Amino acid sequence: MTTAPTGDLEFTAPGPGSWERDPVHFPRPASRYWMDTHPAPFAAGTEEMCRRYGLLLHRLEMIYPHGYAYITKLPAPEEEIPERFGRAAEALTARAWRAHLEEWDTETKPAAIRMHREIQAVDPDSLSDEELADYLIRCRDHHARMIHQHMSHTTSAMIPVGDLMAHLMAWTQVPPADLLALMRGASPVSAGASLELHRLLTAFEADDDARSLLESDGDPGEVLAQLRARTDEVGTALAEYLELVGYRLLDGFDISGRYALELPDSLLRSIRSSVGGRVEEDDDGEARVEAIRGQVPEEHRAEFDDLLGEARLVYRLRDERGVFSDIWASGLMRRAAMSAGRRLAERGRLNDPEHIVDATAEEMAAMVSGSGGPSAEEMAER
């Protein structure tokens, strides 16, 4: 993916209203695949999240002039405003995030994991050209669904936290960053916690030989392969752990980034760090809460306790909606795309396997099946 200095590029607003750069989520220009796949499910997911809580926004839209992410906020239709006010009041009264979180835990997240695993069980390198072309579209469609899923859960993850912060900023002079520290420890997945990791750490603690291999200075990829090939508890636990995390992107959302198994050094360092210290307990958590609670006027402290409980209850959804949705699906799409890229590079249809990320899913499928698609020169230029 070639980039040019922004000073050499002309940026024209794609429509009315204010468009802002999003350098936090997308600090680099996006791939052609991402620019083609992301906007529609992103907009649809944000429309669902806004409607669920009666926000006075219709949806968010994102576009990619010259690959750079720009976002705009569209207001809700004027005729819907009275209904939106009513829905917002109902959502706050009913604490709608609780039902949404329960649905996430019992239905949405388990279903997403099943779909990820079904797609992950297919080895794209073993497929025929026609099968790989179909698989690429399957992975893209799954990826789009997961982008929608991620965005549709945003308000449930954010509103209770925002409600707590708004009240605390009215009651106290505590800086917002200190208020967010109240969420520390409420989202175990943010620190990588999982049953699979717990089993792996327990296995390493009971096996000095495996721990020595883990800490050795051999090639990270070879060390991981040797550990994974073991027929004991460490080998089994590591295989299960890598099945869970191996295809998650480690940097961003675009398939131009790499998934964990492509970066064995980072993966091995993460496992070593976990084995060396487990997940640290937040020993200062209670003191932190009491320090801020002490600054809340006494007549509001019961309400503070209630708001804090709701915010901490749902806070894990902030990261889970990505980890178990599009971050995993992006990695699976990248795996399929890179399989196609290697195949096409071997045939001279691409100059570099990595160039595949600058094709749309339909173009990837066409190139693999031999029915068309951009030339190697055009792909290199992109």
**Does residue 339 fall inside a structural domain?**
yes
Check: CB of residue 183 under 8 Å from CB of residue 158: no
Q: How many domains does the chain have?
A: 1
Q: What is the pLDDT of residue 1?
A: 40
State the residue for tokens 């819907």: 80
Tokens of 315: 């806070």
**Does residue 204 fall inside a structural domain?**
no
Q: What is the pLDDT of residue 6?
A: 54
> 59-80, pLDDT tens digit by residue?
999 999 999 999 999 999 999 9
Residues 6+ apart with CB under 8 A from 5: none
Q: What is the pLDDT of residue 4?
A: 45
**Which residue type does 98 have?**
R
Print burial letters for 338-364: b (CB count within 10 Å at least 16), e (below 16). bbbbbbbbeeebbeebbbbbbbbbebb
**Does residue 84 fall inside a structural domain?**
yes
Q: What is the pLDDT of residue 277?
A: 73
**Does residue 364 fall inside a structural domain?**
yes
**Does residue 285 fall inside a structural domain?**
no
Q: What is the pLDDT of residue 276?
A: 79
Cα separation, 375 vs 364, in Å, equals 11
**Does residue 200 fall inside a structural domain?**
no
pLDDT digit string (tens) for the chain, length 382 residues: 444 455 578 888 888 899 999 999 999 999 999 999 999 999 999 999 999 999 999 999 999 999 999 999 999 999 999 999 999 999 999 999 999 999 999 999 999 999 999 999 999 999 999 999 999 999 999 999 999 999 999 999 999 999 999 999 999 999 988 888 999 988 888 777 899 999 999 999 999 999 999 999 999 999 999 999 999 999 999 999 999 999 999 989 999 999 999 999 999 999 999 997 755 555 578 899 999 999 999 999 999 999 999 999 999 999 999 999 999 999 999 999 999 999 999 999 999 999 999 999 999 999 999 999 999 999 999 9
List the domain range (segments joined by +) for residue 344. 6-157+317-381
| Residue length of the chain | 382
Cα separation, 268 vs 325, in Å, equals 24
Q: What is the pLDDT of residue 283?
A: 59
**Does residue 267 fall inside a structural domain?**
no
Check: CB of residue 214 under 8 Å from CB of residue 272: yes
Check: CB of residue 354 under 8 Å from CB of residue 150: no
